[in-house]
Structure 1
Amino acid sequence: MATPGSAPRWDEQLQRRLARGEETALGELYDQLAPMVHGLAGRILADQTAAAQLTREIFAHVWEHPESFDPAQGSLRSWLGALTHRRAVDRLRVRRAQQPGAEGPGEEEIRAVATAARVQYVVDSLPQSLRETIAVTYYDGRTYQEAARRLGISEQTAKQRMRLGLELLATELAEERARQRRTGQPGGSEDGGT
């Protein structure tokens, strides 16, 4: 949250504009964060039509309930990510319940898919240098030495970037688990607030 005398963050300014009913604020928010929302929903649901529908619903929720975002709890991007994650996981559970005899995903599989999507969302949110180092070392299975050569950086820099990226990832996932515990729900509260 902004301190007295400082300019409010983009998140806070946007929330105020949404609360005043400024349609341009919704357009700005959509332009900035719809790709992230749609991508996360698509990774969890594995269905682009359902992801597009959920994306529309998420932004409709923000338009109708801008007060449900609390800037003191974190960024608008993080809040939208958590809200998207929670609703997409709920959709998977509903889909499974509607197919009682079918081999739909079990609860463990739903959690695994949701966790993998959340991890990918966090990695995608990292600064470019950290993201590319994690991609080369972790996803491509390369050593620090190979990553350093491939990225044109020192081995020490590769190690530092990997360590920082993993620390940020662990912190974000721990914060998500804490939010879930505070709300007493596997996916947190409906509006994402705490």
Structure 2
Amino acid sequence: MVTPAPPRWDRKMQQRLARGEEAALGELYDRFASLVHNLAHRVMDDEHAAAQITREVFGYIWENPDAYDPKHGSLRSWIAGLTQRQAVHRLRQAQKTGEGTPEEVEARVREASAAARADYIVTSMPTPLREALDRAYRQRLDYRQTAADLGVTEDEARRRLRLGLQLLSTAMDHPPQLDAGPSQRNRGRLL
């Protein structure tokens, strides 16, 4: 699981990209390519399309490093938003050419939006909550094992897990907002 980059790292990365440092793009790709590919694949359910979207997203970032505004969130969430918008755009284009019913397309869009919100929530939550959820989910530990692994009381482990799950459950509570907010201005040539 990729931990969120500190805002300073985000700003430095943007500056390096703006100076045209190819190594910066490679570093960014190494850090976020799996996020971009997995999110695109989740929306498109197609390996080739996910690979193409991954190339397009990183191409857009390389050509438009100033499109990212640190005031509106982390670089990770901006990249995830770019990916989601591009994948949804592609999915809707495919639907127009007869590659799925409108209902199937919108169901996939809703699913991908919930997954993107869940990813954002998990990466944005405080480290103690994220660590507890990670142990419970990925390592399949119960709250007692999680408490022992984290070196906290069982009550504290239960509290962290409960709060983390409550936060995560909000991912399904909100309708998709695919084309809203400041990111709309930054779409440029990506869509």
CA displacement 1:56-76 (0-9 Å, x = unmatched): 100000000000000111111
TM-score for both structures, normalised by structure 1: 0.71
**Which residue type is aligned with residue 34 of structure 2?**
P
Q: Give me the whole-angstrom Cα distance separating, in 1, the residues matched to 2:96 and 2:79.
A: 26
Q: Closer, same or farther in 2 for the Cα pair 1:173/1:61, shift >3 Å?
A: farther
Distance 1:8 1:79, change over 3 A: closer
* Runs (4+) off by over 6 Å: 170-179
Task: Tell me, in whole angstroms, the C-alpha distance in 2 between the residues paired with 1:9 and 1:177.
Answer: 29
Aligned length: 174
Q: State the 1:39 CA deviation.
A: 1.2
- Calculate the aligned-residue CA RMSD, in Å: 3.5
- Give the direction of change, closer, same or farther, for the CA distance of 1:176–1:65 in structure 2 (3 Å limit): farther
Tell me which residue corresponds to 2:70. 71
Shift in Å, 1:95: 1.0
Q: 1:110: how far off?
A: 2.9
Q: Which structure 2 residue ranges, 5 or more long, are not aligned?
A: 1-5
SS in 2 for 1:99: coil
Counterpart code for 2:108: I
Among residues 108, 112, 117, which one is paired with 1:110 in the alignment? 108
Deviation at 1:150, TM superposition (A): 4.7
Give a deviation string over 1:76-130, Cα, whole Å, max 9, x none.
Answer: 1111011111111111111111107x54653541333223431453366365524
> Contact 1:133–1:158 at 8 Å: present in 2 too?
no
Which letter maps to 2:115? A
- C-alpha separation between the residues in 1 aligned to 2:158 and 2:146? 12
Q: Which amino acid aligns with 2:93?
A: V
For 1:132, which of 131, 134, 138 is the aligned residue? 134
Identical aligned pairs, as a percentage? 40
Q: Could you tell me the TM-score, scaled by structure 2's length? A: 0.72
1:9 CA drift (Å): 0.5
